[in-house]
Amino acid sequence: MFNKTDPTYFDGPWTFEKTEHAVLGLCKIIDRYAPKLTLEDLQNDPRCARIPDLSLERVQEVIADVEAKLWRGARFFENEVIYHTGPHHDDIMLGIMPFINRQLRTPTNQVHFAIMTSGYHSVTDDFLQQALEDTLDYLHQGRIQMVLYPDFFEQGYRFKQEKDIHHYLDNVARRNPDEMRRGFCHRILRDAVGLWGLKSVADVEARFTAEIENLKAGQPNSHEIQKLKGEVREFEEELVWAYAGTALDHIHHLRLGLYDQGSLSPSKGPVHDDDINTILNQLRTIKPTVLTVAIDSEGQGPNTHYKVMQSIAEAVRLWGEEEDLSRLRVFGYRNVWSTFHPAEANVYVPVSLNAFAVFEKAFKDSYLTQYKAEFPNPDFDGPFSELAEQIWVKNYKDVQFILGKDFFYENNHPLIRATHGLIFLKEMDAKGFVALAEEMAKRIVIDN
């Protein structure tokens, strides 16, 4: 039911975005596609009746604008330096993986991934306990031969992380879960040796046995265990993007300090100058022409999302004082915690059934800690990947109300014909992104 005090329609001057809101709302209420609306339909709707110079031409303008957003989402990226950012591991994938996969197929693009926080909160004690036990089992079976190399405990453990990933994904292809698990345990062992300075197999056995007992007893996690949990999440992220051949030096684990500042109010925005400088230095080094950012407002998702967005915006603002950022394009995305209304977004990325299949399998095979998460979202009992897919399908159905189903299945472009979901993005220039972050911060101050 339409709320006559809805600020979407009654606060501030009328905009074209409000027209899009109103027309889509009418289509959904009366279950009629936009090309079939009549002037009487518009006049009888309390929202559409507020559209200036109301006529069927306004509907045609909405249809044309929505189609333009779709074609923007179908663009082909070439010769770009792309810097994808995510507050947590899996945020980038859940928000925009089909958008990214087309970029990764083009060797002229340089594609980087920056995960801003450790993510150790998402790894349960039970999961880590099982991982340590499995690693000991493989070690006792003689199936972790790298410990036999004479320099392994001095420096050898630092090398061949790429080999662990390749071993794991080889066995995804072979459908061999035992060897997948062995590849994962190789990485656990490498990380543990570096973390605790272990010098022998006996050291490994003693440390793992002690940590297993602590986890069983429910002891508070030490800093080292938190770090090891975070490294589990980092391995998961590396697996996902290795599906398309991304090298480890293009995946950046920034481990920002804000993740450990749960007592600080997120309304304060960036909480660490060190965090901002870490991001700024990456921008200076990589020099992206395309940047993606999760732009959830405070309270829409985990507070970390809002803090990270504000930190990135401040880094971009500072970078803009040093560099000409007129070419930089920023794409704001959302995932399973909040969604764009079709009128808010200005880019609609087509998602085919092929993209759905790749996304679902990559999530299941790579995010070992998340696929069977007990409570991934308060409104959904199941893996995050399924929730993301449901959102993309709903987006597609909303856009069908404007363009019509036949627009898709009769389209001359195979990508549009293959579309069965849509990802909504908000494209901005650097100044627009910084202004949006500032506006969101001001809104919090006013609300408080």
Question: How would you write the pLDDT of the chain (448 residues) with one tens digit per residue?
Answer: 455 556 677 778 999 999 999 999 999 999 999 999 999 999 999 999 999 999 999 999 999 999 999 999 999 999 999 999 999 999 999 999 999 999 999 999 999 999 999 888 889 999 999 999 999 999 999 999 999 999 999 999 999 999 999 999 999 999 999 999 999 999 999 999 999 999 999 999 999 999 999 999 999 999 999 999 999 999 999 999 999 999 999 999 999 988 665 433 333 444 578 899 999 999 999 999 999 999 987 767 678 889 999 999 999 999 999 999 999 999 999 988 889 999 999 999 999 999 999 999 999 999 988 866 544 555 666 788 999 999 999 999 999 999 999 999 999 999 999 999 999 999 999 999 999 999 988 876 555 4
For position 296, what pLDDT does the model report?
A: 85
Query: Rounded CA gap, 448 and 106, in Å?
Result: 47
Q: Which of 235, 227, 253, 192 is nearest to 365 (CA)?
A: 235
For position 258, what pLDDT does the model report?
A: 80
What are the Cα distances from residue 228, in Å, to 68, 124, 175, 201, 368?
Answer: 46, 12, 27, 18, 15
Q: Which of 216, 204, 163 is nearest to 187 (CA)?
A: 163
Query: Rounded CA gap, 385 and 440, in Å?
Result: 28
The encoded tokens of residue 432 equal: 């627009």
Q: Domain 81-117+254-447 belongs to what topology?
A: Rossmann fold (3.40.50)
What are the Cα distances from residue 81, in Å, to 26, 102, 217?
Answer: 41, 14, 48
Query: Rounded CA gap, 315 and 299, in Å?
Result: 22
Q: Exposed, middle or buried, 289 (CB in 10 Å: 0-12/13-18/19+)?
A: middle
For position 442, what pLDDT does the model report?
A: 84
The domain limits of the chain are: 7-70, 81-117+254-447, 125-227
For position 267, what pLDDT does the model report?
A: 37
For position 374, what pLDDT does the model report?
A: 46
Q: List strand residue ranges (DSSP E) for 74-201, in order.
A: 81-86, 110-115
For position 9, what pLDDT does the model report?
A: 75
For position 337, what pLDDT does the model report?
A: 86
For position 422, what pLDDT does the model report?
A: 98
pTM, to two decimals: 0.92
Phi first, then psi, for residue 83 (nearest 5°) are -120, 100
Query: Rounded CA gap, 23 and 28, in Å?
Result: 9
Give the number of other Cβ atoms within 10 Å of residue 152's Cβ. Answer: 20
Distant-in-sequence, close-in-space partners of 397: CB < 8 Å, separation ≥ 6: none
Half-sphere exposure of 255 (CA within 13 A, CB side): 10
Handedness of CA 284, 285, 287, 292 (dihedral sign): negative
